[in-house]
Amino acid sequence: MRSFFERRLPKPKAIAVVLAGVGGALAIAALSLMGDALNLLMVIAPFGASCVLLFAVPAAPLSQPANVVGGHVVAGLAGVVVLALLPGEWLGPALGVGLAISAMMALRVTHPPAGANPIVILALEPGWAFLIVPVALGPICLVIMATLYHKLIGGTYPSNS
């Protein structure tokens, strides 16, 4: 029996490794360019982790559009609510993350990268508009880009199962 540290995913083919990295890079580049053109913040750190799921494991349940978009919106909402109730409090990030996890699970839109949204929100202290751009619009764009990219490379996204 292998130890905990020896348990790993099966070795991917080299082309899959390259295509996943290229897909994630292109998606973040496109969001960044869109943000520059519109003079808006379009990229936040959790989107990098979302790209790992969207481009490396697109068939995973937590990579599906409802989870990606819904998870980010629900977690973002948890962050702005906690910020409104506990601005500048040390407890805010912990409560925001806990509320985000529970809400995503209850609504069946769990997306692990979105769990970082409350931390980002409590650090930046943005207004409620942050829920629209970048929290909702960013993941919508990522899902569209992942769908197009996977079609282009002959893959499938979203999952049919």
State pLDDT tens for residues 54-92.
999 999 999 999 999 999 999 999 999 999 999 888 999
Rounded-to-integer distance, Cα 82 and Cα 96, Å? 6
Q: How far is CA 81 from the centre of its chain?
A: 19
Residue 9 has a pLDDT of 80
Rounded-to-integer distance, Cα 120 and Cα 124, Å? 6
AA identity, residue 52: V
Mean predicted confidence (pLDDT) in 32-44: 98
Asked whether the predicted pLDDT for residue 109 surpasses 80, the reply is: yes
Q: At residue 117, what are phi and psi to the nearest 5 degrees?
A: -55, -45
Average of per-residue pLDDT values in the chain? 96
Residue 79 has a pLDDT of 98
What pLDDT digit, counting tens, does each position of 1-23 carry?
A: 677 777 788 899 999 999 999 99
Mean predicted confidence (pLDDT) in 102-117: 98
Percent of the chain with pLDDT over 70: 98
Asked whether the predicted pLDDT for residue 161 surpasses 90, the reply is: no
More confident residue, 88 or 150: 150
Mean predicted confidence (pLDDT) in 127-134: 97
Mean predicted confidence (pLDDT) in 91-112: 98
DSSP string across the chain:
---GGG--PPPPPHHHHHHHHHHHHHHHHHHHHHHHHHTS----HHHHHHHHHHHH-TTSGGGSHHHHHHHHHHHHHHHHHHHHHSTT-TTHHHHHHHHHHHHHHHTT---GGGGGHHHHHHHH---GGGGIIIIIHHHHHHHHHHHHHHHHTT---S---
Mean predicted confidence (pLDDT) in 20-47: 98
Residue 35 has a pLDDT of 98
Rounded-to-integer distance, Cα 68 and Cα 63, Å? 6
Residue 96 banded pLDDT, cuts 50, 70, 90: very high
